[in-house]
Amino acid sequence: MTKVKRFFASAPLLLTLSACGPALPPNTNGVLYCSEGNPESFNPQMVTSATTLDMTSLQLYDTLVEYDAAKGSLQPGLATDWQISDDGHTYEFTLRENVAFHHTDYFTPSRPFNAEDVLFSFQRWLDPEHPYHSVSGGRYPFFRATRLDQLIASISAPRPNVVRIQLHQPDSSLMSTLSSSFAVILSAEYGQQLLDKGLAPHIDQRPIGTGPFKFRHFRPDVSVYYQAHQEHWRGAPASDSLVFRITPSNHKRMLMLLTGDCDISPYPPARDIAWLQQRDDMNVQQSLSPNTAFWAFNTEVPPFDNPLVRKALSHAIDRDALIHSVYHDHAVRADSILPHTSWAQLALPDAYQYDPEKARALLAEAGYADGFSMDIWALPVQRSYNPNPRLMAEQIQSYLAQIGVTANIVSYEWRSFRRLLAQGKHDSVLIGWSADHSDPDNFFRPILTCAAKRSINNRALWCNAEFDALVTAAIRTTDISKRQLLYERAQKLLAEQVPIVPLAHSIRYQVSRRTVRNMLPPSLSGIRFHAVYSDHGLMEEAAHD
């Protein structure tokens, strides 16, 4: 084996403060985070929602390896070291010792973390016969979309502190995948206790991990309450508690931030960013979070099964104007599904250039000279890649009218939206993707392959054998130049077939009160609260200034 190094607001806002109601008492020993929605689960293996991942993954759990955004490399997590065989088929991880699981009122661990927990966590989504495989629906969308469940031939524990993963074939993205927010480690002992009690679903509802915070309670549409895990292997968190206050309205989140009902809030209204940056009591942070907003067409239903129609619609919209009106210029135009931060990006601006005359000509060539009617589904919630899906849909509706296409805007309550979208009920949808790890593969296999279609992440329902072959070949080699050529061909194929129209790569903002300490900008790996605390003494001092 070869030893591998560890590389890798404004006036309107002020006027509505009086409508906010009385402020909730401050959380003097903890941190209050205004979240934009409810968690779908407390197990990241089961979801792809960024909201859920922010709330759960880095707070409740740890992974074998971690991505350090500042260093741009992989670092030890629950694994302190790893080796990869020369043929790329075998990975061996040495595990960290004396790592404590959460001690709660519903579970008391009898032993520290070991290889048994890694095997349990992986085999749950790998093995259809595993007793937990079908619990909570058993979809595991990320692992199925990346075909990790088909890549791993076996996982074993030659020693209590060593895990060995055997692959069917090499995969240059594996280490990045294992650093993702989905590859969390659960407690095998807790899982067995729940099975013995007939309470298996509780593993995803009342979670146990090794992360810096442990679960206390969840009130849907109100809050999630975590308590510090004092025995965390990195040391106790800086705050005694972490509370997520569920607040879908970005306007209300800003009000709660201003009145002290929250310490930190994501996704401030784009129109308020400049104003917030001028305030002495606020700290506005930003990051070039790798994400892409896109317009996906349901390629299984006419007329969107015709590439000419899809291409026509791509030329009908002015993406630069959308960035100005929807993002208030806090984004850059997307000329590829890959963001500018990716080494594999191939910008193809002409492929999606605004050209209404060309759009009309393509529609006529496709047999739709008189246009047609269609639906545009708009997310009912704000996302890091799209601050205002409804406004974007309205703008696109206006552009389509100019080429004779009548667009109806469709939206539902979030749970219904997700369910119906998964059933393929849409004509088209304004959606997006935020990277889960640093490898460019993350923007291809999870959302655009035939496997992703089966995992419900492929919102275009597009399945193309040539595309699948290109992205599969790219992960079979570690030669960067070969991978880049393969990804360039894949991006050109996307531009020819247009299952999606890339729209924008947004800048991700979050706002915190001046009292908050050690809060880093959101990064590829998510939001970390281990070192974050709120110095409420500073607020008292400011009140007397």
Among 94-103, 141-150, 474-483, the least confident range: 141-150
The model scores a pTM over 0.75: yes
- Across 162-170, average pLDDT: 97
254-270 residue pLDDT tens:
999 999 999 999 888 88
Is 12 a residue whose pLDDT tops 90?
no
Any idea what DSSP says for residue 243? E
pLDDT tops 90 at residue 117: yes
DSSP assignment of 218-237: EETTTEEEEEE-TT-TT---
pLDDT over 50 at 288, yes or no? yes
Q: Answer with the residue of higher pLDDT: 88 or 26.
A: 88
pLDDT at 15 over 50: no
> pLDDT value at position 4?
41
pLDDT(16) > 90: no
User: pLDDT tens digits, residue range 393-441?
Assistant: 999 999 999 999 999 999 998 889 988 998 999 999 999 998 877 789 9
Q: What is the dihedral of CA 328, 334, 340, 341, to 10 degrees?
A: 80
Q: Report the SS3 class of residue 435.
A: coil
Q: What's the pLDDT at 75?
A: 94
C-alpha to C-alpha distances, 155 to 159, 175, 459, nearest whole angstrom: 12, 15, 32
First to last CA, the chain: 63
Q: Tell me the pLDDT of the chain averaged across its residues.
A: 90
Taking the CA atoms of 312, 314, 319 and 322 in sequence, report the sign of the dihedral they define.
positive
Choose the weakest-confidence range: 65-74, 141-150, 236-245, 389-398.
65-74
Q: What share of the chain is helix, strand, coil (3-state, %, to 5)?
A: 35, 20, 45
The predicted structure's pLDDT at residue 525 = 61
Average pLDDT over residues 138-154: 89
The DSSP call for residue 383 is B
Per-residue pLDDT reduced to its tens digit, 71-103: 778 999 999 999 999 999 999 999 999 999 999
Q: CA 471 to CA 347: how far, in whole Å?
A: 17
Higher pLDDT pick, 124 / 382: 124
pLDDT of residue 526: 75
According to DSSP, residue 78 is labeled: S
Residues contacting 94, CB < 8 A, separation 6+: 79, 80, 81, 82, 161, 162
Percent of the chain with pLDDT over 70: 92
Domains of the chain: 2-17+28-263+511-537 (3.90.76.10), 291-506 (3.10.105.10)
